[in-house]
Amino acid sequence: MNGEPVIDVRGLTKRFGDKTVVDHFDLKVPRGSIYGFLGPNGSGKTTTIRMVCGLLKPDEGEGTCLGHDVLHESVKIKSKVGYMTQRFSLYEDLSIRENLEFFSRLYGLDNLRRRVNESIESLGLKGRAGQLAGELSGGWKQRLALAVCMIHNPKLLLLDEPTAGVDPKARRDFWDTIRLYASQGVTTLVSTHYMDEAVQCDRIAYIAYGKKLLDAPTAEIPGRLGLHAFKLDNGDLDKLSSILKGAPGVDILARFGASIHVCGKDRDKLAAAVDRVRDMEGVRIKEIEAGLEEAFIYLMAESDDNFSAEDAA
Amino acid sequence: MISFSRIAAVFIKELVQMRRDRPTFAIMIMVPVMQLALFGFAINTDPRHLPAAVELRDEGPLTRSFLASLKQSTYVEITDIVHGEAQGEELLRSGKVNFLIVIPENFESDFVRGERPEILVAADASDPVAASGVIGAVGEIARRAFAPELDRLPSKLRGGAPPYNVVVHRQYNPEGVTAFNIVPGLLGVILTMTMTMITSIALTRERERGTYEALLSSPVRPLEIMVGKTTPYILVGAIQTGIILLAARYVFDIPFTGNMAAFVLVLSIFIFTNLMLGYLISTVARTQMQAMQMTFFVFLPSILLSGFMFPFRAMPAWARAIGEALPNTHFLRMVREIMLKGASFADIQGDLGPLLLILFVLAGIALLRFQRTLD
C-alpha cells in the first residue's frame, strides 16, 4: 500500500430532490487494496460509486480518483476505471465476442483481435464466443461483465454488488479472480451485503442512510464495535431463542447450526439476560469473543433497508 | 478529441443489433412496399369506368360518335340513357352515377351551323378526386369524337374555335392529385416516419435495457454516440428510396427527369435530418412508448401540413409557418421539382438552405440535451 491513495474524496454529497442520498462522505482507498462497501439497500453505496467514476455529479465535495479531479475530469477517469454495474448492462443481443469488441473499440485499444481472444480464453468461453450474452446464465453473465470491465486493463475496479444472484461456487471463483488482480496492483472498490464477500475485503466502510458509520481494516471491526458474545448450545434451542430474542441487553441473536450466539454492547445486561436461561435443562453457556460474523450481523441488523431514492437515479 | 475508433465502435454495434432485430428490419423494408401499394394502387386517383348517365335531348351521328368516344376512353361507363330532365338529375343526386352528360336540344343542327352548342358535364362534387380524371379528359374525348366530322364541315368553321363547347360543372376544384404527385410525396412521408421512429428509440432503448450505464461509463463522447448511432440507418433509408424509385419508374411509369446528383444530395440531407429529429426525441423520451408518441406527434403535421395532402398555398398563414419548419415540406418541394420538372441545383437552393438549417438546429439541440451523467 504505497504512494497516494487511488481514491481520495472528501465531503461527497448527493441529493435527489430534497432527499440527501449521500451525506458528506469521505473515502480514501489505498493502492492495491480491496475495499468493501457494506450497507443495507438504499444506503447510498451505488450513488457513491457512480460519483467516484463520473456517472453522477456530486452536489458537494471534492477529491481525486486516480489523480484526476472527480468534478472536472470524468472523461479521463472513465478511461482508466472498470465499472461493473449492479444490473447486467451489456448488450444481450450481441454475442460475447461482439460485446468485448465493442467496449475494446470504445476504449480505443490496439491489437483488438488478440486482446479479445485472450479475454475469451481466460474466461474459458473459447467455444462459445458467438453465443448471445442474453442467453448466458447469471454466473457467466457476471464473468463476462468482469471481463469487459478488465478489457482495458484499468487501475481501479468499481464493482457494485457484483455477485448478486450468483451461486456460491461462481462467487468463490469470482473472488479468486479479484484477489489475483489485487496481487497485480489493481485496486478494487466493491459494494456488497453478503457477509462472505465482506470478509474478503482488506478494509470495510459501513454505510447507512448515506453516512459512513465505520471505516476500518476488516480484522479490527469486531473490536471497534465493542461487542460481547455468548454461545449457547445443547438444550431446547427454539425455546432459548424465543426467550432471549429482544430481551434487554441482547442486541442480536443468531443461530449457527446447533448453537445460538447472542451479542450486545452492554456486557452486564447481556450476561444478566443469559443468566435467566442458565437453569434450563441441558443448556451450556460459554462466553466467546465476538467475531466478524457477529459484527456483520450486528451491523446489518442495526439498520433495515434504507428508504431512499437510490434506485430511481 | 473525437475518436474515429469510438464512432466505429458504436456504428458496428448498431449494425449488428439491426441485423439481429429481424422483425424491425423487415418492417423497415416492408413499410415502403405496403405504403406504395396502399397509396399508389388502392387510392387510385385516376379512376376509370365510373358510372355516367347521358341525357339525350337530341340525337344524330355527332351524338353517337361522341358517345362511342366516351365509351372508348374507359373513363366512364354509360349506365343510363335518359330523356327527361328530372331523371338525370335524380340519378346524379342519388349517387347512382358520378356524371351526368347532357346533349342539348338541336345539338346536331346548331353544331353544323357553327352556333357552338354546349355539352354539359355535371360532375358529382362530393368525390372530387374521382371526378378530376373525367373532367380533365372530357375535352380531349370530344375533340377526338368530332375530328372526323369537322372535315365535312364548311371551311369557315374549321381552324378557329371548335364548333361546340364543353362545359364542366363542379363545385370546387382540388389540386390535381395523381400518382405523379403522390409517389414522390410518399418518399418523403415514408422516410419521415421510419427514419424518425428508428432513432427515436436509439437512447431510450439503451436506457430501458440498462445498457446506458455501461455506455456512459466508457470514455465515449456525445457526438461520437450520435454519429455512430444515426449513420447506420442511412443505409436503411437508401434501401427504402431504392424500392420507391424502382416502383415509381416501373410500376407507376413516373419519369425521372431531373438531376440525379441533386436528388442524392437532397435525399441524404433529408434522411440525416429525420435521423437527427428522432435522436433528439430519444434524448427527451423516458420510455420507448413515449418516443413512439412523440414521433407521431411530429409525423402527423409532416403529412398534413407539408403539402403532401393539401395544397400548401391554400393553407392559412400560421399553418404555412409550421409547414416551413418541417423537413418534409422542403424535401417534397425539392423532390417534386427534381423528379417531375427536371430541376437542377440552382432551382432548389431556396429549400436546401432551410433544410440544412433545420438539420443543424436539431443536431445542436440533441447534443445539448444529451446527458453525460445519470443525473
Enumerate the domain spans of chain A: 7-222, 228-289
- Report the percentage of chain B scoring pLDDT > 90: 24
Which letter, b or e, does each residue of B16-47 get, where b requires 16 or more Cβ atoms within 10 Å of its Cβ? bbbebeeeeeeebeebbeebbeebbeeeebbb
Short-list A131, A54, A41, CA closest to A94: A131
Domain with CATH 3.40.1710.10 in chain B: 50-169
pLDDT of residue B311: 63
| Residue B154 pLDDT grade (very low, low, confident, very high; cuts 50, 70, 90) | low
CA dihedral (A42, A45, A47, A53) in degrees, to 10, reads -160
For chain A, how far is it from start to end, CA to CA, in angstroms?
34
pLDDT in tens, A226-252: 888 999 888 788 888 888 888 888 888
Question: What is the 8-class DSSP label of residue A34?
Answer: E
C-alpha cell at A75: 472523461
Residue A17 gets the label, from left (phi > 0), alpha (psi -120 to 50) or beta, of: left
Q: Mean pLDDT over residues B89-107, rounded?
A: 79
Measured CA to CA, the distance from residue B151 to residue B164 in angstroms comes to 14
pLDDT in tens, A102-112: 999 999 898 99
| pLDDT given at position B228 | 94
pLDDT at B178: 53
Per-residue cell: A239: 425455546
Q: Which of A95-99, A261-265, B5-9 has the highest mean pLDDT?
A: A95-99
Q: Which residues of A touch B16 (CB under 8 A)?
A: 94, 98
More confident position, B175 or B32:
B32
Contacts of B216 in chain A (CB under 8 A): 55
Question: Which pLDDT does position B356 carry in this prediction?
Answer: 96
Q: Does A77 score more than 90 pLDDT?
A: yes
Would you call A110 helix, strand, or coil by DSSP?
A: coil
Chain A residues touching B217 at Cβ < 8 A: 53-55, 78, 81, 83, 85
Q: What is the pLDDT of residue B155?
A: 58
Cell of B105: 336540344
Q: Which residues contact A56 (CB under 8 A, 6 or more apart)?
A: A14, A47, A50, A313, B373, B374, B375
Q: Which of A79, A93, A108 sits opposite B20 (nearest CB)?
A: A93
What mean pLDDT comes out for the span A280-307? 78
User: How far does the CA of residue A94 sit from the closest CA of chain B (Å)?
Assistant: 7
Q: What is the pLDDT of residue B176?
A: 40
- For residue B77, which phi and psi values (nearest 5 degrees)? -115, 120
* CA-to-CA separations, A82 to A62, A94, A201, B358, in angstroms, rounded: 21, 20, 18, 39
C-alpha closest to that of A62 among A16, A7, A4, A18: A7
The beta-carbon neighbor of B13 closest among A57, A102, A108 is: A102
On the question of pLDDT at A144 being above 90, the answer is: yes
Q: Does A88 touch chain B (CB under 8 A)?
A: yes
Amino acid present at A175: W
For residue B287, the model assigns a pLDDT of: 87
| pLDDT greater than 60 at residue B60 | yes
What average pLDDT does range B125-138 have in this prediction? Answer: 67
B:12-41 residues touching chain A, CB 8 A cutoff:
12-13, 16-17, 20-21
Q: How confident is the model at residue B95 (pLDDT cuts 50, 70, 90)?
A: low
pLDDT tops 70 at residue A3: no
Cα A287 → chain centroid: 30
Contact A91 B211 (CB under 8 A): yes
- Residues of chain A positioned with their CB less than 8 A from the CB of B207: none
What is the pLDDT at residue B134?
77
Q: Which of A152, A59, A63 is nearest to A103 (CA)?
A: A152
Q: Kindly tell me if the per-residue pLDDT of B174 is higher than 50.
A: no
Inter-residue contact B42 to B179 (CB < 8 Å):
no
Grid coordinates representing B232 are: 447506420
Topology of domain B50-169, CATH: abc type-2 transporter like fold (3.40.1710)
B195 pLDDT more than 90: yes
Q: CA B147, B148, B149, B152 torsion: positive or negative?
A: positive
Lowest-confidence pick of A7-16, A19-28, B19-28, B226-235: B19-28
Alpha-carbon distance of A93 to B166, in angstroms, equals: 67
Among B218, B224, B371, B375, the residue to mutate for chain A (most A Cβ within 10 A): B218
The string of pLDDT tens digits covering residues A246-293 is 888 888 888 888 888 899 888 898 888 888 888 887 888 888 888 888
Rg (alpha carbons) of chain B, rounded to whole number: 28
Where is pLDDT greater, at B110 or B216?
B216
pLDDT the model gives residue A93: 93
The pLDDT of residue A309 is above 60: no
Residue B276 confidence class, pLDDT cut points 50, 70, 90: very high
Please state, in angstroms and as integers, the Cα–Cα distance from residue B62 to each residue in A299, B114, B121, following that order.
Answer: 108, 14, 17
Task: For chain A, say whether B49 makes contact (Cβ under 8 Å).
Answer: no
pLDDT 10s digits, B228-257: 999 999 989 999 899 888 888 888 777 777
pLDDT at A97 over 60: yes
Residues of B in contact with A71 (CB under 8 A): none
Q: Which residue has the higher pLDDT, B342 or A313?
A: B342
pLDDT for the residue B45: 55
pLDDT of residue A307: 52
pLDDT over 60 (residue B157): no
* Band of pLDDT at residue A204, cut at 50, 70 and 90: very high
What is the predicted pLDDT for the residue at B9? 92
CATH of domain A7-222: 3.40.50.300
Contact B274, B266 (CB under 8 A): no
Return the residue of B nearest to A109 by Cα. B5
pLDDT score for B1: 72
> How far away is chain A from the Cα of B9, in angstroms, using its nearest Cα?
5
pLDDT on residue B169: 65
Complex prediction ipTM:
0.83
pLDDT confidence of B56, banded at 50, 70, 90? confident
Write the single-letter amino acid at B305.
L
* Whole-number average pLDDT of chain B: 81
What is the reported pLDDT for A23? 92
Mean pLDDT rounded to a whole number for chain A = 87
Count Cβ atoms below 10 Å from residue B82 Cβ, excluding itself.
19
Bridge partners for A20 per DSSP: A15
Which of B8, B17, B210 shows the shortest C-beta gap to A89? B210
Residue that the C-alpha cell 425539392 belongs to: B334
Helix A168-183 to helix A138-150 angle (10° resolution) is 10
Q: What is the pLDDT of residue A64?
A: 93
For domain A228-289, give its CATH number from 3.10.20.340, 3.40.50.300, 3.20.20.70, 3.30.70.260: 3.30.70.260
Strands (E), B97-164: 99-103, 118-123
What pLDDT does residue A42 have? 83
Q: C-alpha distances in angstroms, A184 versus A36, A120, A160?
A: 18, 20, 21
**End-to-end Cα, chain B, rounded Å:** 24
Interface of B with A in 131-190 (CB under 8 A): none
SS (H, E, C) B220-284: CCHHHHHHHHHCHHHHHHHHHHHHHHHHHHHCCCCCCCCCHHHHHHHHHHHHHHHHHHHHHHHHH
Greater model confidence, A313 or B169 = B169
Q: What is the pLDDT of residue A41?
A: 82
